[in-house]
Structure 1
Amino acid sequence: MPEPEVNPIARQLGGKVPPSKRGKGNVVRRRVPIYRRKWFAILAIICLVTGVTAMGVVMAILAPLREQAETFDLADLHKIEKASLIYDRRGDELGRIFVLNRTPIKFEQVPLRLIDALTAQEDERFFRHKGVDMVGVVRAMYLNYKAGEETQGASTITQQLARDAFKLKELEKAGDKNARYTRKIVEWFIAERIEEKYTKSEILEMYLNRIFFGRNFYGIQAAAQGYFGKDVKDLSLEESALICGIIKSPNNLEPLRYPDRAKKARDHVLDRMREEGLLSKAEAEQYKAMPVVTNPPDNVTRLSHVTEEIRQQAIGIIGEEAAQSGGFHIYATVDAKLQRAVEASVRQRLSEVEQRPGYTHQTYELYHQIKDLAKKRIASKEIPANTPIPAPQYLQAAALVIDNHDGSVLAMVGGRDFLDSMFNRALQTRRPTGTAFLPFVYAAAFEKPQYYPPGLMEDKPINNRLVMIGGFDGRLGEWGTEQEETVYGDTISLRESLVQSRTAATARLGLEIGLPSVKDLVARAGIKSPVRDYPSSFLGVSEAKLDEMVLAYSTFPNKGKRPKELTLIHRITDDKGKVIYQIKEDEEPLVPVMDEIAAYQTHSCLVEALDRGTGRPARDEFGLKDFPAAGKTGTAYEFKDLWFLGYTSSVTCGVWCGFDQQKPIYEGAFSNRIALPIWSDAMNAASKDYKTEEIAPPQEAQLVEICNKSGLRAVDSCYEKVPDTVNGGMKAVRCTHREVIRPGSNFETYCNVHRTGGPGLASMLIGVDVPQETVPMNPAAFNVPSVRMKGLTVIGNDPYNAELPVLRAEPVDESGEVVPRAVPVMEEEGQPQSPIKLAPPPPLKLD
């Protein structure tokens, strides 16, 4: 039986009241809301109390962490280490001094494409959050939970800045599992403070100037220059994406070492930019197809002996901490272009020596094979990690080029490879100078009136025990000339002795003038190394440093003066341009060493030593260009140390070659085969930018004419018969040259070969020999004007085909009269003071 309908409204609405909900008398009961029930009230009270308690606990935990975050001074965000930059004399960057290689820039210099790449990769909601990205935090927590390990991070750019600037990683104590979360909370609070104080652009500027980009590049500018050789403002989009891609793991993604890994990181950034709507799909694919192309410059952070010496001197001026982090600008005297040329020459020329047949020593290539093998054995743990890498034993060289006018260093090479050996052989090692020391012996002699280049010295073999050089038996290169065949003569001029590097004649000259004279001169010349008190010092057995020898040699082109000292740093400014250090500009930058005449006499000998003496291969074989220069070889005993020192009017250059542990290079290794080629290359490079001029003789010096054959003062008949290549037969030529003599020198001996015509001119004219006689030492007899031909002696046809005389030109005045020659007059008591005049013979006419 159906139940009666009691609620037609319910039926109309389509609802039915279940029997269980009906009260007595079929009355429908109202449902009590859950929040009005007693048990809900009790539960709510419990939850509220629990929540308040939990909040109190959280606040109690976070309060000290917030207080800790407040202790960090946000002003420290601006305190970053800045690399001090070294510039060459043209303003080009030569190197850097740093603990962290960093060059800060302004935000305005950063292109928008790099900002897009950075935010897409590191913090997509950077411009929307307030320091902490809660969406990113929740996402990272979910992904990490799903993976069962920490695979995702949620640090924003602001958090990374806080972590790096305040070294928050140090808050994580070893063994404390909660330390990482504590550090994270402090990091969040600091990030919020940063966002409250700084704008987004300021945060990005501080971030980009601070973070690490691998390979000792800190900050975006250092990375741009180090990887691509350009400023950050010039980076392309794919380059910007690459740099931003390596931020997450710079050492593992560094593009110079791992280009494939860097490309994957770059492509990931490009994909993120596409996902963020910053690139279209086609654009992203186009950039991803591009290869990774880096272009690191050679000079940036390049280590070398010259930059290390500049660094050491800068530290001595401004302090180590300031030099490494203060962002100073150090202006050096070095010419980077010349420096590269000299370094290249050292590498090439010594490599050529090592390729010489029969060369038995360790080569540069062999050492690097040994070095690489040692590193591999350490990496594979075959040998202990603290096993020292073997020291190089290959042939070394050092070179130094200075400006003659102020002593500024233009180029310095301290060895073949700075990474193999930091020892600077240009400044730190003393070696026997060998025959490169000889010019100072002659200069000391030329300071005395009785010694001059045409003066004669005995050149016979000398007893080795007399000067005590090397072994008693002697070796090739010890005596005589620096060549395979040792040559001696009875006598030799001082000029020829120095030109040909005759050690026997030099030893005799040194013994005559005395060792104290030589020691005094070299001390004035700037050689501070001690000169031994033995006769062997005349021949260069005492040691000296390359920089001392170069400074001393600059005396000759400077007409007897030298720079006070060598300089490498001209000026230092701070990062705001304020001058911190400036080299003193002296009114007289040069100090006197010897008189101008002695300097020029020695210089004139060194010119010939380069052109026709021991330095002759420079032009004949090694390509030295045709400009005025002078120089001297230096071969030490047993061919252990080789030198060449020389100069132009503008620069002086010295080269040393040898082993760190002294030993013969090879038998017959003269300096003009090993050191001279490097010197020639350096001087050719220097001549492009530093003008070369002839060095003029002193005005107060006396110029005299010297016979080439006798080495004595020339007479009118000093002619020699030579083949006439134009007209055939023979012709007479004047065989003399000019010498600079100190006024007051007793050099009044005249030619005894061509006197009265001699075998030169007389035999040419009349076909008979004239006996050589000793010329009397009375100079008055040779100051009488010679009888000269005024015209032809045969007029008309000459049936005898006689030789015609060579007429000597004479000065005449406007009227055509011969100008009388001034001659010294010897005054003697009782002798009339009247000149001798002879009329010319009349012309002989033949029918």
Structure 2
Amino acid sequence: MASPKTNNYYSKIISAIWLIFIAGLLGLGLYVYAVSINFLNLFGELPDFRALENPKSVLASEVYSEDNVLMGKYFLENRSPVDELRDLPQNLIDALIATEDIRFEEHSGIDFKGSFAVIYYKLTGKQDRGSSTLTQQLARNLFRTRTDLNKGLLSSVPGMRMLIIKTKEWIMAIRLERSYSKREILLMYLNTVDFGSGAFGIKSAAKTFFNKAPKDLQLQESAVLVGLLKGPSYFSPVKNPERSLLRRNTVIDQMQKYGFIQATEAEQAKSTEIALDYRVENQNTGIAPYFRTELSKFLLRWCKENGYNLYEDGLRIYTTIDSRMQRYAEEAVRENMEKQQKLFASYWKGREPWTYDNGATIKGFLEQQIKLTDRYKALKARYEDNEDSINYYLRKKIPMKVFTWEAPGEKEVVMSPMDSLAYYKRFLNTGFMAMNPLNGYIKAWVGGNNYKYFKYDHVKQGRRQPGSTFKPVVYLAAIDNGYSPCYQVMDVPVTFPAEDGRPPYTPKNDDNVFSGRSFDLREALAFSKNSVTAHLVQKLTPAVIVKYAERLGFSSKIEPVPAVGFGSSDVSLYEMCGAYGTFVNSGKWTEPVYLTRIEDKNGNLLLNFVPKSRDIISEETAYLMVHLLKGGADIKGGTSYYGLRFRHKLKNEIGAKTGTTSNYSDAWFMAITPDLVCGSWVGGENRSIHFRSAAYGQGNKLALPQYGLFMQKVLADKSIAINTGPFPKPTAPLTVEIDCAKYNNMGGLPQDSVNQNEILNPNIQLDEGI
């Protein structure tokens, strides 16, 4: 029997143990409380109740087409949320729980059993495993617990940083469990976790690795994605396919172990190879990248003015683009440009394509052009006037990828920066736009050959001389000032006298021949007779032509010079489509628009976009312009007739105009139908790079085919409602006769003896101040 002294000794030990235990509990409680309130800023801040109830997650803003197809995103982190857990496959949820947190339904944010198991594994040297629950991981993802923003004064003390981080995650996990249901936590986790390859959240991951929606993921695919959570780079199926396969099979084994799947299903899934459809999302990919870049310029301004972040706030942006028309436009451009590039390469084989007007090669062309590049400017800043060092790096050959029209669209080469410059200068460039003239909605926008390699946009950013596609502006001025489509003009030279230091100017016809016969205005526009345009410009004056151009929406500077009617001033394809749309829209100019509305991440309307429009010409004048333009497609010998009606076999009503600038530097084509206006441009990056033959370089050879191919595809798609004609007539009867045969052979009179006063309305005075 123990003595009283011994009993007293043991009693003191037990009391001491209890005191230590209670003190430990109190200390732990005080420590947790101190962390939760960030006592004396020792531990770093924790999110408050409001942040917990409304956790802010960085969300990509999404761009949608008019037919509700996701076109692309603007993001810092490629993160788009899944709205409901029911939109996810059960195999994905099972794989996640089996692998990451099997006691997810049992714990309240902290898995103490798992934590003690981790300590045991570490002490015994057995296989390591993680102890963080899904809720703790969610807290880490939502509130960035491991960033510098959340560090307190004690974070720099050795050993304290991770203890504080873990404590914070425990606290927030418990708070999250109190605020959200288990299903909500699962959904939030899957919407925020990093899967690697720039994909945040399951929606982006499924799209990136398998090009499908999460709901369509198969068991083996879900296992691959869950396997990435342990190490997105280490277990990447792209970078490390063997590791990814082993990790996927481990996930499947876990699912079998915990009864989510049967052994036969597990073996079948593990026997399947990983079949990726890997597509990393960035601005180079997706639908209409040139368009989305232009759209972002407006959106960034709007977000700045209205307190939103385009890259983080999950805005939903709805555009006017028709995804089907956009696809057909891109296909048409690719088919045409691949063919034209082969012809161009063959035409200039063995010669440099950068030439003066007389055909002589421009000496030192590349040396001058390289100085305009960012690479040269960076080298210049680094080496200052050390030209030897600059030239060394400009001519140093390095491995790189370059664009090619051959599949898959790029190839690996060894080139110097000078070689690369020469390579890309030999490419023809292009732009294509389609617009509904009745409401200004842009339906398709292709700004170049390939956005990844040709960033410059040739729809709105680029401006080039439009050539004869500008002639309808002259004809509009004539019609609006009393000229009839049947007004006849002799095909003879017209000379503009010397003025303001300019020499006398006598425009030539395309074939350098003046026939001496008379052409009515419809024929003259169809055959693109420069002599007739010169006659009209001289009668109306260049200043009047400029006024009409401004009324048609041209914001580019149009110079009032004698050559104005031949497209001597640079304009954009965007402006041209807007101008031509006026003719179809009964005389109302409508600004081309690409945006309909913007919503926040919850679907609340932030902006409803209404296009600008104004009446600028009468309904009759607009219809007469349509009648004139139809001549280009319908009169035999018209510049668009063969290409549209025979080469591309288009039977619908079309108004059309081709355009070619001096030395074939620019090839243009404009076309109108009752509910579509299209513009096409093809040319070199520099005006000195072009074909030197009408057989290859004219608008009907280079630019028209893109429209023809596009319309063939659009008309073949019965899901697209396109009005094939006829063009609607004005509500009031026409006041002029448009059947020129009633004038031309009246009583057997020769064409050049028609009384012009019957065709030119003498009561309308030229308005110089329009």
- In the superposition, the TM-score normalised over structure 1's length comes to 0.70
Deviation at 1:322, TM superposition (A): 4.8
Give the whole-Å Cα distance in 1 for the aligned partners of 2:254 and 2:501.
81
Deviation at 1:175, TM superposition (A): 8.3
Tell me which of 259, 266, 277 is aligned to 1:277: 259
Task: Assess if the C-alpha contact under 8 Å between 1:353 and 1:674 holds in 2.
Answer: yes
* Cα distance change on mapping 1:652 and 1:175 into 2, 3 Å: farther
Task: Assess if the C-alpha contact under 8 Å between 1:105 and 1:221 holds in 2.
Answer: no
Give the whole-Å Cα distance in 2 for the aligned partners of 1:37 and 1:331.
82
* Cα distance change on mapping 1:464 and 1:117 into 2, 3 Å: farther
Give the match for residue 399 of structure 1. 432
Deviation at 1:256, TM superposition (A): 6.0
Give the match for residue 223 of structure 1. 205
Give the whole-Å Cα distance in 2 for the aligned partners of 1:502 and 1:174.
81
Task: Assess if the C-alpha contact under 8 Å between 2:442 and 2:593 holds in 1.
Answer: yes
Give the match for residue 438 of structure 1. 471
1:369-427 deviation per Cα after TM superposition (whole angstroms, max 9, x unaligned): 999769x99xxxx99xxxx9999543221111111211111111122222234433211
Deviation at 1:242, TM superposition (A): 2.3
Counterparts of 1:204-223 in structure 2, within 5 Å, are 204-223=186-205
Tell me which of 680, 691, 702 is aligned to 1:674: 702
* Counterpart AA for 1:567: V
Give the match for residue 736 of structure 2. 702
Give the match's secondary structure for 1:605: helix
Give the match for residue 643 of structure 1. 668
Give the whole-Å Cα distance in 2 for the aligned partners of 1:551 and 1:544.
12
Tell me which of 20, 42, 48 is aligned to 1:73: 48
Deviation at 1:60, TM superposition (A): 6.0
* Counterpart AA for 1:564: T
Give the match for residue 335 of structure 1. 322
Deviation at 1:691, TM superposition (A): 0.7
* Cα distance change on mapping 1:296 and 1:51 into 2, 3 Å: closer
* Counterpart AA for 2:747: V
Larger Rg: 1
Counterparts of 1:741-780 in structure 2, within 5 Å, are 744=761
After the TM superposition, which of the residue ranges 210-219 and 268-277 deviates more from structure 2? 210-219
Deviation at 1:54, TM superposition (A): 6.2
1:638-662 deviation per Cα after TM superposition (whole angstroms, max 9, x unaligned): 2222211111111111112223333
* Counterpart AA for 1:349: N
Counterparts of 1:284-683 in structure 2, within 5 Å, are 284-294=266-276, 302=286, 304-317=289-302, 319=306, 321-356=308-343, 357-359=346-348, 364-365=403-404, 393=425, 394-449=427-482, 452-460=485-493, 479-481=508-510, 485-493=511-519, 494-559=521-586, 561-584=587-610, 591-611=614-634, 612-619=637-644, 622-668=647-693, 669-683=697-711
Task: Assess if the C-alpha contact under 8 Å between 2:319 and 2:595 holds in 1.
Answer: yes
Give the match for residue 164 of structure 1. 141
* Counterpart AA for 1:216: G
1:243 aligns with 2:225: yes
Give the match's secondary structure for 1:591: strand
1:251-307 deviation per Cα after TM superposition (whole angstroms, max 9, x unaligned): 444456665544333221101112223223222111111222345799997260222
Task: Assess if the C-alpha contact under 8 Å between 2:235 and 2:247 holds in 1.
Answer: yes
* Counterpart AA for 2:273: P
Task: Assess if the C-alpha contact under 8 Å between 1:705 and 1:714 holds in 2.
Answer: no
Give the match's secondary structure for 1:344: helix
* Counterpart AA for 1:643: W
- By relative contact order (CA 8 Å, sep 6+), the higher-ranking structure is 2
Deviation at 1:234, TM superposition (A): 3.9
1:46-101 deviation per Cα after TM superposition (whole angstroms, max 9, x unaligned): 76676677667666655523444994335534422343333222223233344442
- In the superposition, the TM-score normalised over structure 2's length comes to 0.77
1:104-129 deviation per Cα after TM superposition (whole angstroms, max 9, x unaligned): 42234444332221111111222233
Task: Assess if the C-alpha contact under 8 Å between 2:483 and 2:760 holds in 1.
Answer: no
1:317-344 deviation per Cα after TM superposition (whole angstroms, max 9, x unaligned): 4547354444443322111100111112
Deviation at 1:676, TM superposition (A): 0.8
Give the match for residue 725 of structure 2. 693
Task: Assess if the C-alpha contact under 8 Å between 1:624 and 1:683 holds in 2.
Answer: no
Task: Assess if the C-alpha contact under 8 Å between 1:557 and 1:649 holds in 2.
Answer: yes
* Cα distance change on mapping 1:567 and 1:673 into 2, 3 Å: same
Deviation at 1:42, TM superposition (A): 7.0
Give the whole-Å Cα distance in 1 for the aligned partners of 2:240 and 2:658.
49
* Cα distance change on mapping 1:72 and 1:135 into 2, 3 Å: same
Give the whole-Å Cα distance in 1 for the aligned partners of 2:353 and 2:82.
48
Task: Assess if the C-alpha contact under 8 Å between 1:403 and 1:410 holds in 2.
Answer: yes
* Cα distance change on mapping 1:299 and 1:553 into 2, 3 Å: farther
Task: Assess if the C-alpha contact under 8 Å between 1:433 and 1:635 holds in 2.
Answer: yes
Task: Assess if the C-alpha contact under 8 Å between 1:640 and 1:665 holds in 2.
Answer: yes
Greater helix fraction, Structure 1 or Structure 2: 2
Give the match for residue 114 of structure 2. 136
Give the whole-Å Cα distance in 2 for the aligned partners of 1:520 and 1:139.
83
Give the match for residue 749 of structure 1. none
Give the whole-Å Cα distance in 2 for the aligned partners of 1:258 and 1:745.
82
* Cα distance change on mapping 1:251 and 1:307 into 2, 3 Å: farther
Give the whole-Å Cα distance in 2 for the aligned partners of 1:93 and 1:517.
45
Give the match's secondary structure for 1:406: coil
Give the match for residue 127 of structure 1. 105
Counterparts of 1:185-196 in structure 2, within 5 Å, are 185-196=167-178
1:118 aligns with 2:96: yes
Gaps of 5+ in 2: 355-401, 764-770
After the TM superposition, which of the residue ranges 425-434 and 244-253 deviates more from structure 2? 244-253
Task: Assess if the C-alpha contact under 8 Å between 1:638 and 1:664 holds in 2.
Answer: no
1:165-212 deviation per Cα after TM superposition (whole angstroms, max 9, x unaligned): 111112565784431232122222332333344432232222222222
Give the match's secondary structure for 1:543: coil
Task: Assess if the C-alpha contact under 8 Å between 1:701 and 1:740 holds in 2.
Answer: no
Give the match's secondary structure for 2:692: coil
1:183 aligns with 2:171: no
Task: Assess if the C-alpha contact under 8 Å between 1:702 and 1:743 holds in 2.
Answer: no
Give the whole-Å Cα distance in 2 for the aligned partners of 1:432 and 1:467.
22
Give the whole-Å Cα distance in 2 for the aligned partners of 1:743 and 1:389.
55
Give the match's secondary structure for 2:347: coil
Gaps of 5+ in 1: 1-30, 720-736, 747-847
After the TM superposition, which of the residue ranges 72-81 and 550-559 deviates more from structure 2? 72-81
* Cα distance change on mapping 1:230 and 1:490 into 2, 3 Å: same
Give the whole-Å Cα distance in 2 for the aligned partners of 1:678 and 1:164.
48
* Cα distance change on mapping 1:536 and 1:187 into 2, 3 Å: same
* Cα distance change on mapping 1:418 and 1:320 into 2, 3 Å: farther
Task: Assess if the C-alpha contact under 8 Å between 1:351 and 1:364 holds in 2.
Answer: no
Give the match's secondary structure for 2:535: helix
* Cα distance change on mapping 1:707 and 1:352 into 2, 3 Å: same
Q: What percent identity do the matched residue pairs reach?
A: 24
* Cα distance change on mapping 1:106 and 1:532 into 2, 3 Å: same
Give the match's secondary structure for 2:582: coil
Deviation at 1:39, TM superposition (A): 6.8
Equivalent residues, number: 675
* Cα distance change on mapping 1:468 and 1:401 into 2, 3 Å: farther
* Counterpart AA for 1:593: I
